[in-house]
Amino acid sequence: MFGFNLPISRQYIVPPIVLATIATVLMAFDMRDALEFHRQLISEGQVWRIWSSQYIHTNWTHLALNLVGILFIWVLHAEHTSIRRYFIHVLFLGLWTGIGIWLFCPDIRVYTGLSGLLHGIIVWGALKDIQVKEPTGILLFLGIVGKLAWEQYAGPSTDVGNLIDSRVAIESHLIGAIGGLVLALPLIKGKLGFAVKQ
């Protein structure tokens, strides 16, 4: 038998609980019409939708899938972060993904969901694993790269799209993952020995 210690300290459990609660409350109060990414309405001045859309969902199944993602990240990487860093990442990646969709994905007219920013958080966590010599870090990173490459080649999953009543925005996964790389630049520089001397 082997032990498996979950990261249950307050600093590790508060951030994912808060994020999950916010997403659930927004779903329960049906805030989609007011907050979703809607290209026409954004062009008319409702620019908050670029960012707010990242935290709402099309239906309860969509939310449940992303809550599983939050749980997965907590189990894997909670101990790499802090309350402050977690929310900086969540806020930055939400804005990064929304702006990326606005600028580079003109075919996406409506968008919702946490999945883009969650991909960014997973990428950052995998690179942090590599920095601290966690043996699964490279495998996780290669797995994410493989998933993203397959999505871009094969296109969005029809089955998942049917579950969430929306096309899976695989572009947001790639944009979010790139945002995770941006957040991880200090880790990469340090790993390669290029850290700036204090």
Tell me the domain boundaries of the chain: 10-191
The Cα–Cα gap between 87 and 181 comes to 17
For residue 26, pLDDT beyond 50: yes
Q: What is the pLDDT of residues 69-124, one digit of tens each?
A: 999 999 999 999 999 999 999 999 999 999 999 999 999 999 999 999 999 999 99
18, 60, 89 from 25: Cα distances, Å: 10, 11, 21
For residue 195, pLDDT beyond 90: no
Q: Which amino acid is at 105?
A: C
Q: Which CATH architecture has domain 10-191?
A: Up-down Bundle (1.20)
User: For residue 68, what are its two tokens?
Assistant: 């599983």
3-state secondary structure (DSSP) of residue 110? strand
User: For residue 22, what are its two tokens?
Assistant: 């916010």
Q: Which residue has the higher pLDDT, 186 or 192?
A: 186
Q: What is the pLDDT of residues 150-190, one digit of tens each?
A: 999 999 999 999 999 999 999 999 999 999 999 999 988 76
The Cα–Cα gap between 127 and 122 comes to 9
List, in sequence order, every residue forming a beta bridge with 111; answer none if it has no partner: 37
Q: Contact 54/98 with Cβ under 8 angstroms?
A: yes
Instruction: Quickly state the pLDDT bin for 6 (edges 50, 70, 90).
Output: confident
For residue 198, pLDDT beyond 60: no
Number of other CB atoms surrounding residue 90 within 10 Å: 23
**CB-count exposure of residue 177 (10 Å: 0-12, 13-18, 19+):** buried
Q: Contact 112/167 with Cβ under 8 angstroms?
A: no
Q: What is the pLDDT of residues 30-41, one digit of tens each?
A: 999 999 999 999
pLDDT of residue 135: 87
Look up residue 106 and give its DSSP letter.
Answer: T
Total-model pTM = 0.92
User: For residue 170, what are its two tokens?
Assistant: 């695989």
pLDDT of residue 21: 98
